[in-house]
Each structure stands twice: as C-alpha cells, then as structure tokens.
Chains A and B, each alone.
Chain A
Amino acid sequence: MGMIIRGFKNAFRNGIRSFAVIIILAISIGMALVMLVAMKAVEAKITSVKASVGNVVTISPAGAQGFEGGGTPLTGTQLKDVSSITHVSKVTETLEDRVSTTGSSTGSGFGGGTSGTTSLSSAINPGTLGQRFNGGSSSNQTLPTNFSLPIEIMGTNDLSTTQALGNVSQFKITSGQAFDATSNNNEALIGSGLATKNNLSVGGTFTAYDTTIKVDGIFDTGTEFSNGMVVMPLASVQRLSAQSDQISSATVQVDSVDQVTAVATAIKNKLGSAADVTSSIDAANNSLAPLENVKNISMYSLIGALVAGAVIIFLIMVMIVRERRQEIGVLKAIGASNAMVVGQFMSESMILALLGSIIGALIGFALANPILKMLVNNASSSASTAVRGAGGGGFARAFRGATSGFQNSLQSLHGAVGTSLILYAVLAAVAIAILGSAIPAFIISKIRPAEVMRAE
C-alpha cells in the first residue's frame, strides 16, 4: 500500500511534466477508444448485413434472367452434383412457367411461358406497365378487350425457400395447408389476390394445362405480384408443362456465411458455362468493401494509438528512472527489493495512464460517433453503390430489396458509447502502463546501490 501511495505521490513530483504526459496519454487513449467504437460498430454492421443477405447461392441457366434473355434450362441431373459439394446444406429447385387465361387475347406461350392455359384470370391490373409489356410503347395504346396478363406458376421441391417468389416480405399460408413439395400431385397453393379474383377457396379447383388442380391452401406474400401466383410441386409442373427434369433456377443454402464464396466457386466449377452462379455475399461484399476498409483503418489506428501511448509512457519512465537513479540506489540500500522498487515505479506509470484514460474516455464519449460518421461517409462516398442482381428473376428483386436501403442505413450507423467504454479505457491504461514500464523496470533491476554510492 505504501508503495502505491509513494507511486501516486511521485507521479506528481514534476507537475508540469505529469500534466503534459496525462494530456498526451488522454489523446492517445481517446483516439484508441474512438477507433475501438468505430471498429465494433462497423463489424456489427457487416455481420448484420451479411446475415440479412443470407448464405444463399443462386443458380440459373446461363443467359437467362427470369423470363428474359435466353439459354438452356438446367436439369435435375446437373443439380444432383451440386448437393454433394461440401458445406451445401440444401438445394431448392424451381421451375417457373407462365400460362395464359383460356380465351384471352394473349394466347398461350405469351411472355416466355410454355403453351399452357388456365381457367384462372390474372389478379394483376395490366395498367401502363402491362401495356408496355404487351408491346405497346405509349400509354395511349389500348389493350384488347379480353386481354389478361399471364399467370405465373412456380414449381418447387421445397416450400421453405421462397426467394424465387421475388421481393417478398413473407410467405404465409393464411388458409388451408401446404402440400408435400416432393410429390407429383395435381395440387397447388394460390396467392390471396388470385384466390379473390377467381373466387377460389381451400378445397376448390381450377384448371391448368387441361388438368384439374386442387387448391390446398391460400398464401399471402405482401406483394400484389406474388399474390397473383400459383405454387405447385416441382414434379407436377415439370410433368404438366412437358418440361421433364428441367429447372429454371436453383437456390443453394450454405451452412455458413463464411463458406458462401467457396461454395459458389465450387458450383461454377461443376456446372461450367451452363449456368450463371451468383451469391448474395459477392454482391454484398462489394457494398461492404467501404465498411471493411473503415474496419481495417480503425483496427490499425487502434493498435497505433495504444502503441503510441505505450511509447510515451516508456520514454517518460526511462527519463524518470535515469533522473532518480541515486534514489533507487538508496531505496535498495535501505532494504527495498527489486520488486518493491519496480512496483513503486509501475504504480507511478499506472496513475499517469489511469488519469490519461479517464480524460481519454471523455474524449471517446464525445468524439466516437462524429468520427465514425466521418469515416463511414468518406468511405461510402468513394465506393460504387451500384448493385446488380442476377440469376432468377426473384433473386434480383429480392437482393435489390435487401440492399437498396443499405447505403441509407450507413448514415444511421451508430457506435455503442456506454459504460463499457470506461472499462476499455481502464484496460488500455493498464496495458499501456505495463508495456511502457517493462524496460524501465529492467533498468531498475540492474541498478546496483554501490554504483550510486560511488557516484556520490
């Protein structure tokens, strides 16, 4: 205890020097804390974005994007190889088709679908966009009287993966129940919009591909487009649309976000030029690159600030030890052990570092978020914010939806500045005091009392 009290008293022997050291340490520790807060905030954001984007790889036929582009459909045989790739936990296969309302002017095969027809009428109002998709270029062009947009039918072997449905916020069966997606039955789930438009309820039937299809359930996705769809077992759609073993897109679930890139590469290697393979992580990584830079800058700055603090303490303690060489010799002569003398000097450096850390914590509190904002703004303004979706039509919409708010959310990035900051400040002070005192402590241990007496 006496050693600590003496260390405390000694810390203020030279008031001006101690004040200067405390201020410099405060700046160093303050900057370290600011960088720590920034790094943790950015890390949390990166993790959150990656988690929200998901650990999914999407496969679609090369050159195709939904019902646009060209290319040759993939096959189930091709996708069997994908399931065997390490870290692949699930492969969901989908086949999308479009069917025309029987008797409508659109005719079968409209909009990229097969020759199928249905008794269902589309729940979606054509509007201006519908006119444009019908080949019209101006809003003045009128539609034929019996025009009806085609109805999308999606076949899937897994109802839990709904990315192909598009930019949906949910896939909720509001009445009835799901079918067995691995079956080959003539059954379907229909969107709530479609059900309402066609007065269908659970247990009801409609026709498609000249076949009676039973409604097992009605779903709601939160979007008008997807609520106008029909979802059926994959094998059923393949059979009814005469597209045996064909797949228009596949969604691969990876067991870990960290493995997504590796799995995507493995899939590309397996499927070669037959498929376009995209992962949400690749696109997310582009958007996250500025944040990764901020994280790295923060980390190096944090280390630099702590090292600077340790160097400051080291230089000051070496100076103090040299100044008090004789005093150290006297202390040893009157019975102090090396440990006692080193302990006294370490108390002195610890007091200086702790006082610096208190002021540094206040600096951290005040500057953490302003500096974080400045770092993020500088980083994100210089990075490309273009995001391109690829693959199946649903994926592009989903990803653009997920990341369209990303750039805006950066502006609201906020560092957690709370009582934990004080704990970090204290830990920083302890680390700096120990590191900075190590060599001076060694010097102290080598001072021989007799040398000091001779020097007198």
Chain B
Amino acid sequence: MIITKGLSKEFTSGDHKVKAVNNISFEMPEGIFAAILGKSGSGKSTLLSLLGALDKPTAGSIEVDGIKINELSDRKLIKYRRDKIGFVFQNYSLIHNLNALENVCLPMEFAGVGAAERKERAEKLLEEVGLTEDKFHRRPARLSGGEQQRVAIARALANKPKLILADEPTGNLDSKTGQVIIDLLHELAKTEKTTILAVTHDIGIARQAKVIFKLQDGTLVE
C-alpha cells in the first residue's frame, strides 16, 4: 500500500535548516490500522503531510497504492488527495457554517458527485460512524467533540479513499470518547477495506494498532 524510500523533509528556520523527516524508508500493507508513535516535534505530522501529498519531500520517494506521488504535478496531486486520501485532524477541522451532512458532502462535491448521490452516501456514512439522524443538520458548534470527530471521520471516508491519515484523532477528546473513536477506526478499516494510519503520542492508542512506526527526531527507530 505505502512504500517510502529515503524520505526526507527539510525546513529553513531563520539561519539554519531543520530536518523534520530524515531518511525514512518503510513499507505498509493495505487494509490495516497502523500507528506512528512519537513525542511532540518528532516529525509525525510532517510525515503524515508527505504521505497525504499536502507537502513535497526534499528527498526520497513515496508510493501509495502504486502511485509515485512525488512525481505528480500539482493538479494531479489535488486529484490524488481527493480520490485516494481521507484526512482526520486533531481539532476536527470541520467547516463551521456547514452542518454535519454538508461537511461530509464536501469532498464528494469536489469530486463531482451528483447532489442526490452525495446526500445518500453522506447519510449512510454518518449512520456508520454512529451519529443519530437528529444531528445530521446540526452545525459543529452544536455537536460534542466526539460527535465532531465522528463527522470528520465520515468526511474522510466520503470518496472511498484507499488511505485515511489521522493526525492525533483523539488528541482533543477524553479517554473514553477517544477509545470510541479508535474502535470506530478499527471497525472502518475492516468494513471499508481502508488502510488507516494514525499519528499519536499516546502509547496506549498506538498499541491497539496492528503495526507501529516509532519516530524520534524525524527518524524511524522501530
């Protein structure tokens, strides 16, 4: 599913350069729930950005589902993100003035899916993530943290991606709600046949993953 070779990302900070990701090579099969574990500043989010084609590596290559994403043009990268990747962010990153249903419909709208089909799939996904129907038309401000993260997960699944990248998906949730979300991700990995790669600094959550990648100072240690 994912193959990286010598992946590096450098940033310039003032006068000196910082290597956020340093020569990372790994392979990850599809259809599993994997975790990237590391402390704050270890390069987890940067690695996630690179795998999700939100940023371009300074060196190395990335292949996701057979696509060499570091060779794609900007236009093709947008298509890649739209069709192959789903993102779940730590702070949910829902659009505030759209309700839950509209947030889930958004990626499908960008992919050119018709309105009726969008609505039908969005409702199905919201049911799958456990949101009750009476909350479909609520805006994020009227949903709890856990509910917002469910909506974010449903949005990530909208275009049936091959890979879901979750950046600290339980970071803003209490432990009980966080566990609910992790269980949901496990379940969806099986039912939607989607590979899920979650970044976390919580070892308890990481241990629930089938594969763990440990990052330290931008380098893969395990």
Establish whether residues B52 and A333, one from each chain, have CB atoms under 8 Å apart when the complex forms.
Answer: yes
> Which of these, A13, A335, A450, contacts B107 with CB under 8 Å?
A335
Q: Does B167 interact with chain A (Cβ within 8 Å)? A: yes
Contact with A along B90-116 (1 / 0, CB 8 A): 110101111000000111011100000
User: Size band of the A side of the interface?
Assistant: 20 to 34
List residues of chain B with CB within 8 A of the CB of A333: 52, 54, 81, 87, 93
Assembled-state Cα–Cα distance A234/B149 (Å): 102
Q: Does B160 interact with chain A (Cβ within 8 Å)? A: no
Assembled-state Cα–Cα distance A368/B153 (Å): 56
Q: Does B70 interact with chain A (Cβ within 8 Å)? A: no
Establish whether residues A330 and B95, one from each chain, have CB atoms under 8 Å apart when the complex forms.
Answer: yes
Known: A335-B82, A336-B110. A456 touches B52 (CB 8 A): no
> Looking at the complex, which of A2-10, A94-102, A253-261, A358-366 is the stretch in contact with chain B?
A2-10
A6 to chain B, nearest CB (A): 7
* Size of the chain B interface, CB-CB below 8 angstroms: 32
List residues of chain A with CB within 8 A of the CB of B136: none
Q: Does A80 interact with chain B (Cβ within 8 Å)? A: no
> Which of these, A2, A13, A326, A449, contacts B54 with CB under 8 Å?
A449
List residues of chain A with CB within 8 A of the CB of B167: 453, 456
List residues of chain A with CB within 8 A of the CB of B105: 2
B80 to chain A, nearest CB (A): 9
List residues of chain B with CB within 8 A of the CB of A16: none
Q: Does A340 interact with chain B (Cβ within 8 Å)? A: yes
28 sample A-B contacts, Cβ–Cβ < 8 Å, listed by A number: A6-B98, A9-B97, A9-B98, A10-B97, A13-B96, A13-B97, A330-B93, A331-B95, A333-B54, A334-B81, A334-B82, A334-B87, A334-B106, A335-B78, A335-B82, A335-B110, A335-B111, A336-B78, A336-B110, A448-B55, A449-B55, A450-B54, A450-B55, A453-B49, A454-B46, A454-B49, A456-B90, A456-B91
Give B contacts to A, CB under 8 Å. Answer: 45-46, 48-49, 52, 54-55, 75, 78, 81-83, 86-87, 89-91, 93, 95-98, 105-107, 109-111, 155-156, 159, 167
Closest 6 pairs (CB-CB, A-B): A335-B82, A450-B55, A335-B110, A450-B54, A450-B49, A449-B54
